Chain A
Amino acid sequence: MCVGLSAKVVSLKDGMAIVDASGAKRTVSAELLTNLNPGDYVMVHAGTAIAKITDEDKDETDDLMQQL
């Protein structure tokens, strides 16, 4: 249902953010997130940044797998 893409915040203006996903740029709504700064990573869905995130899925899955 919810195709999401992690992207880096390039700039912010009036509740909108330009985000960059490995070179693909687009303006999305950043209104749902506070304390957002250029350089942060966000999860983007349907034109809206829905969560502030860390960039890499590897560390997280490595941690989880280590606990098993």
Chain B
Amino acid sequence: MSDVITMAHGAGGKQTAELINKVFKRHLTNEFFTADDASVLPRPNGPIAMTTDGFIVSPEFFPGGNIGKLSICGTVNDLSCMGARPLYMTCAFQIEEGYPLDKLEKIVAAMERTANEVGVHLVAGDTKVAGKGQVDHVFITTTGVGEILPGVRTSGALAQPGDKIIVTGDVGRHGCTILLARDEYGIDADVTTDCAPLWKPVEAALTAVPGIHVIRDATRGGVGTVLYEIARESNVGITLDYGNVPVDPAVRGVCGMLGLEPLYLACEGRLVMIAPAREADKLLETLQSQPYTEGAAIIGEVTGEMPGRVVMTTDIGAKTLLPEPGNELLPRIC
């Protein structure tokens, strides 16, 4: 087998079979993985949640993870936000001609590890090879199905005035990691992605506090974007205590150099949870005892004022609007 992906690997013949056997089957085999045209799966007990997401990231390897891990975490976390235990996933690869096989294998191995950690089964996959330059190294799309825990109902539209807002860890690390990995600005910092599969902490949180109103993962656009989405969908106001938003010092340093706001940088392992005030401390303690969410903090509350807006209390104790995120993130220097 050649050591790079060629067009023949995507042609459906012998080389395709070889690629599937040597890379995908080797890592992704489980009882449901099939050679047939579709997988046949047991019916879950309750209602299911289903989601899909495409992953494009440059570079595809970065401190703390790679696009394979990201592609599992993203879909697992989307399901988790609905209170759904991730059961089955599918994945589709678009690979650039000439892409090294050993790198592809590392990506697939990361998918295997992450899926095993969560206990989700990859039940079907697809591979396409695109000509040089038609895709940037590797694109992955994953789709997932999960079973919603009994009695749980979360939605971005369910935030109520008086609720407390929790973020499950420091913000902006993934975005900062990618920014540094691209090495466009000559900045070095010991920052690794927050990319993580969050089903376990979510399951623990929902077990302790089944009445959580909102769980949403902060990905593109960061926590700032998520807060605006929730304020709008629930038609409520949000008050954010800026000083309580956890930010890694190095992330703050990088943002300071480039004039960026950590609240708008992407996360890949951070959730925003909104729960009734009386349950907030219990929820916080539960999260702080779980992997990946040790750094959880209460950052604000839901109000009935200024629906659709996020108001923050600043360092000087004044109130101001958190500007609504938008536009390409560009460093502000001069």
Contacts and interface: CB of A to CB of B under 8 A. Distances in A.
Task: Tell whether any CB of A sits under 8 Å from a CB of B in the complex.
Answer: yes
B268 to A, nearest CB: 20
A24 B254 contact: yes
B40 interface: no
Given A3-B332, A46-B334, A23 B257 contact: no
A67 B332 CA distance: 35
Interface in A14-52: 20-27, 44-46
A35 B193 CA distance: 38
A21 B257 contact: yes
A1 interface: yes
B187 interface: yes
Instruction: State the majority secondary structure of interface residues on A.
Output: strand
B184 interface: no
A26 B333 CA distance: 15
Contacts of B185: 26
Contacts of A68: none
A63 B135 CA distance: 59
A5 B257 contact: yes
Interface string B168-198: 0000000000000000011111110000000
Nearest to B250: A23
A24 B334 contact: no
A64 interface: no
A20 B187 CA distance: 10
A3 B259 CA distance: 7
Contacts of A22: 249-250, 252-253, 256
Contact of A25 (B189, B256, B334): B189
A2 interface: yes
B188 A26 contact: yes
Contacts of B254: 24
B189 to A, nearest CB: 4
Interface of B: 185-191, 248-250, 252-254, 256-257, 259, 332-334
Interface of A: 1-3, 5, 7, 20-27, 44-46
7 contacts: A21-B253, A25-B189, A26-B185, A26-B186, A26-B257, A27-B186, A46-B334
